[in-house]
Structure 1
Amino acid sequence: MSFNDAYKKKIEGQIDQARGKINELKGKAKEAQADSDLKVEYEKMIKELETRKDLAEEKLDKLKDKGEKSWDDIKESLDKASDDLKETINNSISRFK
């Protein structure tokens, strides 16, 4: 497996982790309907996670489409999207323990 393939797999794993966290938060938001403030917090975090996940997916798709030529340009923006996604996941974990 090349470095590029390993990198793509790593990003796909982070996106999958974000999907799992989004589903978990949606379940908690549904349970928190009696506490509207908590539900609003869950919904804000869900929206932020979905936005960052979608951006990472978009950049990963570009990387897959462009191939080796554009690797450096796209990898830099994908690294940023990936870092933002990881940070958002970690924030949601610490906020809603």
Structure 2
Amino acid sequence: MGRLSGGQQRKVLLARVIARQPRVLLLDEPLTNIDPEAKEDLSRLILNIHRQLGLTTLFVSHEFGPLLAAADRVITVVAGRIIARNMAEPRFARAV
């Protein structure tokens, strides 16, 4: 995988996880340190996998990105403490 870009490497890793047919998909910073085009591409792929396979998907991120629009719930954690639990909605993304 050394010759693949960061975005391509993440797609390969995601495919390996999906091949194991998990019931829950835990993604820890999957969009970090990849270029904007790869970030958008990977976001679409994650969203499609989530919808088509009906997986419970936990997405950990320090940034609100393209996947926020697809979230059912958003939990905000600061310094290890939950400071907010909200149903996902656009105004929440602007408030944080």
TM-score greater than 0.5 by the shorter chain = no
Higher RCO (Cα < 8 Å, 6 or more apart): 1
TM class by smaller structure: under 0.3
TM-score by length of 2: 0.28
Indicate the structure with greater strand content. 2
Indicate the structure with greater helix content. 1
TM-score by length of 1: 0.27
